[in-house]
Amino acid sequence: MMTFHPTLVLAALPDEPPASYLSTMAMRIGRSQQGLAKEIGTTVKNISDGVPDAIVRLREACDLPEDTFAGSTFVKAGLDCRVGFEVFPPHALRRSAHFVCPLCLNEDIAMGNVPRAQLLPNFTVAHACPFHRVLYVRASFNTNPRQHFDFAWHIQQSIGTGLLERQPNYVETPSANAEYLAARIRGETSDNWLDTMPVFAVARFAEVIGLEMLFREVREWRTVTAAEWHKAGQLGFETLWQGRDAVKRAFSIIRENRKEDFRAHTWQEVYGNLHEFLARGNRKNVGLGEFQRIAHEHVVETMPIEAGTKVFSIKVAERKIHSIGSASSAYGINPATMRTRLMRLGAISNQLPGQGDQSTVFDAVALAEQLKLMQSSMSRTDALEYLNLIRPVGEAILAPEFIPHVHVPGAKGHRSKGYLKVDLDEFVGKLVAGAVKPQQNKGLVPVREAVISARTPLIDIVRMILGGKLDRVGHNKSETGFAGILVDPDEVMAITHALPPGRLSIPVAAATFSYSYPLFLSLISAGVIPSEDGRNSVTGLPRRTVAVEDLKAFSAKYISMSSLSAKLKMDPRLVKSAALKAGVKPAFQKPLVKGMFYLRRDTQRLRR
């Protein structure tokens, strides 16, 4: 095997790639890179691809130590490439372009040496020289594939076009991101959680998340400068180094940055660049799975995401956050009502300017039971509306005797009464369980109308239906609640007012003798008309009755002002004035009796 004279051989630098070393050696002894490779029995491509035999031939030809190029050889492994202790995807390397530190080149030339290559500039995540703190500059613009790996030739061409005459661009600090990458290539670890992940995944994700943290607006990556990438990598790596919680805080910072963009509502709009990067990285299998899981967890824990949705390519198992809007849709509650109830629970604060239903969020897991209760329960007012009842008639129907109530949690531990929709439906179902066929509904009226026509309280009619006392109950399915319950008012009246011979109920008696109901009650309360308390023998309902004979006796003895006025064909005021002049006094004093009566025998004087 061919060997070079020791005076011609250059000592390899610790991080110098073998292909660049071959190029430098070829220029030093006046040969082409391809020609020199051929002389030592290999090819430039084999050396560039890290073929072991080719590296051995180069090392032996130059009489280099056995461990030379151990940590700087790019060993081809399918589409990927192994360098030192790490494996990199194809897009991690600048294989067709050479980047250099201009100050390092100046030092080499000042010492009379040929320019030497370094390892870090070959990686896309390295942007600045760690020694001089200046940005790397591109030193190759030739697209001839035969010269892609001819480092020395490209440097000479670039120097001829003024590469070293440019003003270097300094950075404030060296990149901890790139330094970590170099340490991992050397096999060094730091007992940090990042050591368990592929180093390029760490370095590249650090750049991307750092960039999103730096800028409030979404930047197109092609417009980002090398200085900005360097700064982003430093910020991102410092964040990743602190652990998973720090990464989640970084996501919160990014979301805060996007608040000024009113179009950014969904997680894709807020984390668009990160979503594309992680999805693309996952397809390219660069080891971003852990960061993908962290991003997924953060979004699910902070944004209203429905179960089953894919977030950062991972399906959401359980919804953890609701917004006013999403909860309203999910539970069928008006957004304004939902906001009011959540404020009473203390789950959300007062609405801030610009804070709409979609941006107001709360813990869906902690409030799951309350939300279910809200969904199925109603307030007293809503329950009456649902049953198609009005106050005060319908109030008695919401009694525990008929419909149980639940306690809905409120603010500061207080609870309010609520009514479950299922209980309301069940109660209505009981009332219409024995409904006749629709063609048999003739003569039936809605139960609310029967209350008036049958002069029977709603609660009594309901008890009759539940007790099976009514033979005909109908159901109008086109109506809801009590509006669809039909009964026969004559049947109701026959049951309600079924009395022993010679006795009348209070409402019927008042109507029969043309007295108002309050007036008739006052006569009974005053003891003028005797009454008797008892129970309906059919329904068992309590009732008060009066004897017809007592009513006739009362009518024979007393006459009301309205009857006297009609009989005398005089205005009541004139009748009252005439009675005073004739010395005829009212039979009863107000307010004991809510009306004016005279003894019939005394009214004889008014006719004279």
List, for residues 523-563, the tens digit of each pLDDT value. Answer: 888 888 898 887 766 556 677 889 989 989 998 899 888 88
SS3 assignment, position 311: strand
Using DSSP, state whether 364 is helix, strand or coil.
coil
570 phi and psi, to 5 degrees? -125, 155
Task: Judge whether residue 411 has pLDDT over 60.
Answer: no
Rounded Cα gap, residues 37 and 84, in angstroms: 23
Q: What is the C-alpha separation between 43 and 370, in angstroms, rounded?
A: 74
Torsion of CA 53, 59, 65, 69, to 10 degrees: -70
- Rounded to an integer, what distance in angstroms lies between the CA atom of residue 491 and that of residue 470? 7
Count the Cβ atoms, other than its own, within 10 Å of residue 360. 23
CA 545 to chain CA centroid, Å, is: 63
Across 510-594, the runs of DSSP E, i.e. the strands, are 532-535, 542-547, 558-560
Name the percent of the chain lying above pLDDT 70.
91
CA separation, residue 424 to residues 385, 388, 396, 399, 481 (Å): 11, 11, 14, 12, 9
Q: Which of 136-145, 216-225, 308-317, 599-608 has the lowest mean pLDDT?
A: 136-145
Q: Tens digit of pLDDT for each residue in 138-170?
A: 887 655 555 566 777 777 777 767 777 778 889
Provide the pLDDT for residue 235.
93
Residue 222 has a pLDDT of 84
Looking at residue 331, what is its pLDDT? 73
Of 5, 7, 2, which is closest to residue 40 (Cα–Cα)?
Answer: 2
- Section 321-327 average pLDDT: 84
Residue 608 predicted with pLDDT over 70: no
Check whether 607 has a pLDDT greater than 70: no
- C-alpha span between 49 and 43 (Å, rounded): 10
Domains in the chain: boundaries: 18-165, 189-315, 321-378, 384-405+417-496, 509-608
Measured CA to CA, the distance from residue 436 to residue 487 in angstroms comes to: 10
Q: What is the mean pLDDT of residues 245-271?
A: 80
Question: In the structure encoding, which two tokens stand for residue 449, read together?
Answer: 């109308």
The pLDDT assigned to 283 comes to 58
* 195-250 residue pLDDT tens: 989 999 899 999 999 998 988 777 788 889 999 999 999 999 999 999 999 999 99
Q: How far apart are CA 257 and CA 214, in angstroms?
A: 9
Q: What is the pLDDT of residue 505?
A: 81
Q: Higher model confidence: residue 393 or residue 449?
A: 449
Model confidence at 262: pLDDT above 60: no
Phi/psi at 348 (nearest 5 deg)? -135, 160
State the average pLDDT over residues 257-268: 70
Q: In this prediction, what percent of the chain has a pLDDT beyond 90?
A: 10
Give the residue from 341, 337, 335, 311 showing the smallest Cα distance to 323: 335
Report residue 313: phi and psi, to 5°: 65, 10
17-21, 78-82, 377-381, 448-452, range with the lowest pLDDT: 377-381
